Structure 1
Amino acid sequence: MNDRSYLVLSDDDNVAVATQQLVAGTTVGSVELLANIPRGHKFATRTISAGDPIFKYGQIIGFATEAIEAGNHVHGHNVRPTESTDTRRAVIGRATIVNNVNDRTFMGYQRANGCWGTRNFIGVMTSVNCAGTVAKLIADEASKQIDLAGMPIDGIAAFPHTTGCGMSDRGSGYELLRRTLEGYLIHPNFGGILMVGLGCEQMQITRLFSECGLEQCSTLRFLTIQGEGGTRATIDAGVRLVREMLPCATKAKREPAPIGKLSVALQCGGSDAYSGITANPALGYAVDLLSSAGANAILTETPEIFGAEHILAARARTPEVADKLYRKLAWWEDYTRFFGNSLNNNPSPGNKAGGLTTIMEKSLGAVAKGGTCQLEDVVEYAQRPSRKGLIFMDGPGFDPCSATGQIASGANVLCFTTGRGSAFGCKPVPSIKLASNSALFSNMRDDMDINCGDIVEGTSIQAKGVEIFENIIAVASGRKTKSELLGYGDLEFIPWQLHAVL
């Protein structure tokens, strides 16, 4: 068996990861396999007694529920999760990034508020679910009536959602939705926005504008269905307002901007055992490059760092930042307990089929997206960070919902790693898809932008990280991603709902 048929990720590990299907009876290294090992799954490299910790990445990912002989399959049938309070967890040290990218630029759109966009959309936003259909009809009709050929406009897109009424008009749920809507209303990837409401909803547009310090202007308008006199009148008025926005929106031209004006959202979904070995650490290296140049990188999905939060906390700028992170994890443990669940309910069936056994194993791979740079701050969902560098944004593990929060927080590019294969895109921000293994890249070539599977075949994490960094610059400068070419992004605006439905 060739040496590339398995990987041992740390000298402290007592398991190895199969890089191809391995057959019982085969000798791998010094171990004779006692079971068939699917690609991406783990086998014991030495005997593990019942109750002993399972080590991967040099970290505890769980405990053996029975004695596991060397060569046996190590997975959910003989492993239980650990707890986040386990004191035997190690801290992964920071690395030094020597590449100097401070003088690099991308071609972006400068906005009046000083932010830089990577796309130039006309958006039709909604204050409430009741206006969703009308917003879509306005965007569809405007797209049919207006010839955008030759204009620097990426499209006219609607952003309906499922809330805005049946909720309190104050409190954390209201504030969360208000922050999300505000983040989109001022997002630099929009050249103009029309907001549509019903008229009687809790999320009143005039109040929203007042609380956000916004006023109607040539590129920001609003109307209500009740105020315009019904559906047809609102569609006609909406199309007219979109037309009126175009002269201003089309004045935008791409020009050179410092890399420090980028804000990159970090996502993973449909993860497998390779995600933490290839795509996530390679993206992490690109994040270190971006951070060194003063750009933002926004990591999120709080439930999916459970068991690995100590790695981020050890790199926190201050003890207060670390404490904020730990308090977010404690909130999530209480939140899931209230509904009779636990954070250990993750990974998903697809994750497990791909070789991930516990949430700790998945989390250790997920935090690798954040590289090794300093954690500058922990912010609320959809909150704009006040610092540059690596930021952790509180948010759920549901990809479209957490990505919506990252965009509201100012992300103008999104990088999405996947091992099982995830179909995702999000207007108005381009989504770069990174495949963790070569089989996925080949099988879903229309969806994947970058193959990180060649890391297993010998490409260095650093070289792949530089490739990702260069792709971020190219996409920020206008190159279309696979998800953009496929037309993704019309159904992925999903604000986090954290309120009683009344």
Structure 2
Amino acid sequence: MANAAGAAQAVLLRDDDNVAVAARPIPAGSRLSFGPESVEVREPIALGHKVALAAIAPGEPVRKYGQVIGFASRPIPAGAHVHVHNLKADLFERDYAYATERPAGRTGEPPRTFQGFLRPDGRVGTRNYVAVISTVNCSASTSRYIADRFRDRDFRADYPNVDGVFAITHKGGCGLPFEGQDHKNLERVLAGFANHPNVAAYVIVGLGCEGAYAEHLIDSQQLTLLVRNGDGRRPTAPPRPRVLNIQDEGGITRTVEAAVAAVEQLLPEANAWRRSEQPASKICLAMECGGSDGNSGVTANPALGVAADLLIAQGGTAVLGETTEIYGAEHLLTRRAVSAEVGRKLVDRIKWWEWYTGVFGAEINNNPSPGNKAGGLSTIYEKSLGALAKAGSTALVDVVDYAQAVPGPGLVFMDTPGYDPPCTTGLVAGGANVLVFTTGRGSVLGLKPTPCVKLATNTPMYDKMKDDMDLDAGPILEGESVESVGRRLFERILEVASGDLTKSERIGVGEEEFAPWTIGPTL
């Protein structure tokens, strides 16, 4: 951030930018000064929107973050509002410069710990749930009925170490090519949730005739149940998961009763787990932004990048997704890749998305959404550059497929859509045990079994939605440093990992957002 002007009226992110970002609504006639230069604002500029600091001719690049975010579609006078009416996202060449700028990362940070559930495979849970997993939409309502039987019960009285029983339901599971890409994606997601470190036990509920049937899921993904032995640190020979098919059980009512009895048997086992002190290196952090605005890349996303850097300095893992929302900024990650091979894996995914969207007559740059635009974002390049700030400053160590188990430590990229529910579903299926979600417009996502920390980009929205937002990054616009807010966020991550509830958990949000990515045709 190069400079702020007019009592923090606007922020200049880099010295060579030709636009500044409104830190608060700016009336017409205001004068902004950055160093020796000043400009009179020609029209009202809303919070998060851009103002031209110099005249920009048609076809000339518009720069923010020191990068091209688009090109002037008509003459833009100094002091004018820069937005979709005078800015377009033409294609331009990016220099990928693979593995040429590998950063060293932070050093000298004192070791940190949190209180978590150490599992037999060495992973650590930040929550301790029992899951009811539906294989197909035909068993979704039944799975919900099973979980509902446990909602009004006082778990803390009988099972103080169990965070709850929740249902994993979705719209798929049939009408898809058997063992095709969508079938494999769905099984990988379901297995990722079943084997998640935040899930102590689960039952599987199917219809009985679906394409994505339970026994195939168990065998192809090698699903087993987690079992404690003695102090809980040594695995025993684990049993196969309990499967209840509605057709075999004799209908919905009988299935619900049988499944409730099965969950009752699992609860004492789940309750036997205890939190213990664990190194921060055991945290796998998912990073997501949604309902973004023009200040997402100025406040919340850079602050999350600081928190990710701090976690990686502890030996932890941070995973970034949303391939369609780093489009136009991917060259900044390829330069930070640990090898040219890793960088090319990312570019391969970008090229696949160009092909995939083209099949349907769409373009990746048909983005941002109307809400993003209302918040000041004009092009996909601008949105992508702001989104990429979540990735902090460390090296990119790997690129993985959707819902693939995330290796660590370090910064990992997962190929996902930009749409929040399927993106976060993939990140959590990959093993993320904490999720931080930045938002400027006010997204309210949660996703069991992983706690979701909501970070607001601006104070007006935070004040309006305090019941849903966990932390405010808006003070950055008032002069607090990005580093300071990032460190506060890192401390909040440790608190949440230790069991402190997020706002979405207190409200009960987190089951409807489960949405595996569907790529191909429905048959």
Could you tell which deviates more after superposition, 413-422 or 100-109? 100-109
Residues 378-397 of structure 1 show CA distances to partners (whole Å, capped at 9, x for unaligned) of: 00000012332111000001
2:462 aligned residue? 441
Residues 263-318 of structure 1 show CA distances to partners (whole Å, capped at 9, x for unaligned) of: 01000000001100000001001111111222111100100000000011110111
Q: 1:173 aligns with which of 173, 182, 188?
A: 182
Residues 207-259 of structure 1 show CA distances to partners (whole Å, capped at 9, x for unaligned) of: 21111122465694221111111111101100000000011101000001111
2:61 aligned residue? 53
Aligned AA for 1:169? Answer: F
Residues 303-336 of structure 1 show CA distances to partners (whole Å, capped at 9, x for unaligned) of: 0000000011110111011001001011111111
3-state SS of paired residue (1:22): coil
Q: How does 1:286-365 map to 2 (within 5 A)?
A: 286-365=307-386
Report the Cα distance in structure 1 between the residues aligned to 2:92 and 2:448, rounded to whole angstroms.
36
Report the Cα distance in structure 2 between the residues aligned to 1:220 and 1:471, rounded to whole angstroms.
35
* Identical-residue share of aligned pairs (%): 46
Question: Is 1:28 aligned to residue 32 of structure 2?
Answer: yes
1:69 aligned residue? 77
Question: Is 1:476 aligned to residue 497 of structure 2?
Answer: yes
2:131 aligned residue? 123
Conserved? CA contact 1:53–1:61, under 8 Å: yes
Question: Is 1:429 aligned to residue 450 of structure 2?
Answer: yes
Q: How does 1:143-158 map to 2 (within 5 A)?
A: 143-144=151-152, 147-149=155-157, 151-158=160-167
Question: Is 1:245 aligned to residue 266 of structure 2?
Answer: yes
Q: 2:294 aligns with which of 262, 273, 287?
A: 273
Report the Cα distance in structure 2 between the residues aligned to 1:90 and 1:291, rounded to whole angstroms.
22
Conserved? CA contact 1:308–1:360, under 8 Å: yes
Question: Is 1:109 aligned to residue 117 of structure 2?
Answer: yes
- Aligned-residue offset at 1:158: 0.6
Conserved? CA contact 1:434–1:451, under 8 Å: yes
2:21 aligned residue? 17
Could you tell which deviates more after superposition, 110-119 or 25-34? 25-34
Report the Cα distance in structure 1 between the residues aligned to 2:502 and 2:301, rounded to whole angstroms.
19
Report the Cα distance in structure 1 between the residues aligned to 2:414 and 2:427, rounded to whole angstroms.
7
1:193 aligned residue? 202
Conserved? CA contact 1:119–1:429, under 8 Å: yes
Residues 13-41 of structure 1 show CA distances to partners (whole Å, capped at 9, x for unaligned) of: 01111112222222222111122211211
Conserved? CA contact 1:61–1:358, under 8 Å: yes
Q: Identify if the C-alpha distance between structure 1 residues 455 and 92 changes in structure 2 by more than 3 Å, giving closer, same or farther.
A: farther
- Aligned-residue offset at 1:183: 0.5
Q: 1:203 aligns with which of 206, 209, 212?
A: 212
Aligned AA for 2:504? Answer: S
- Aligned-residue offset at 1:94: 6.9
Conserved? CA contact 1:42–1:73, under 8 Å: yes
Question: Is 1:383 aligned to residue 392 of structure 2?
Answer: no
Report the Cα distance in structure 2 between the residues aligned to 1:47 and 1:91, rounded to whole angstroms.
36
Q: 1:457 aligns with which of 478, 481, 487?
A: 478
Q: Identify if the C-alpha distance between structure 1 residues 230 and 145 changes in structure 2 by more than 3 Å, giving closer, same or farther.
A: farther
1:409 aligned residue? 430
Report the Cα distance in structure 1 between the residues aligned to 2:191 and 2:106, rounded to whole angstroms.
38
Scaled by the length of structure 1, the TM-score of the pair is 0.96
Conserved? CA contact 1:23–1:37, under 8 Å: yes
Report the Cα distance in structure 1 between the residues aligned to 2:117 and 2:439, rounded to whole angstroms.
29
Conserved? CA contact 2:98–2:339, under 8 Å: no
Residues 169-206 of structure 1 show CA distances to partners (whole Å, capped at 9, x for unaligned) of: 11211111111111111001011111100111111211
Could you tell which deviates more after superposition, 490-499 or 54-63? 490-499
Report the Cα distance in structure 2 between the residues aligned to 1:181 and 1:302, rounded to whole angstroms.
22
3-state SS of paired residue (2:150): helix
Report the Cα distance in structure 2 between the residues aligned to 1:328 and 1:80, rounded to whole angstroms.
24
Provide runs of 4+ in structure 1 moved above 3 Å: 86-102, 142-148, 215-220
The number of residues matched between the two structures is 502
1:161 aligned residue? 170
1:7 aligned residue? 11
Report the Cα distance in structure 1 between the residues aligned to 2:178 and 2:454, rounded to whole angstroms.
38
For structure 2, the residue ranges without an aligned partner over 5 or more in a row are: 226-237
3-state SS of paired residue (1:10): coil
1:85 aligned residue? 93
3-state SS of paired residue (1:390): strand
Conserved? CA contact 1:101–1:293, under 8 Å: yes
Q: Identify if the C-alpha distance between structure 1 residues 84 and 149 changes in structure 2 by more than 3 Å, giving closer, same or farther.
A: farther
Report the Cα distance in structure 1 between the residues aligned to 2:146 and 2:265, rounded to whole angstroms.
14
Report the Cα distance in structure 1 between the residues aligned to 2:155 and 2:276, rounded to whole angstroms.
24
Scaled by the length of structure 2, the TM-score of the pair is 0.93
2:420 aligned residue? 399
3-state SS of paired residue (1:330): helix
Q: 1:184 aligns with which of 171, 193, 201?
A: 193
- Aligned-residue offset at 1:85: 2.4
Report the Cα distance in structure 2 between the residues aligned to 1:388 and 1:102, rounded to whole angstroms.
17
3-state SS of paired residue (1:343): coil
For structure 1, the residue ranges without an aligned partner over 5 or more in a row are: none
- Aligned-residue offset at 1:95: 6.3
- Aligned-residue offset at 1:82: 3.3
3-state SS of paired residue (2:149): helix
Residues 369-421 of structure 1 show CA distances to partners (whole Å, capped at 9, x for unaligned) of: 01010001000000012332111000001101110000110000000000011
- Aligned-residue offset at 1:88: 11
Q: 1:139 aligns with which of 109, 133, 147?
A: 147
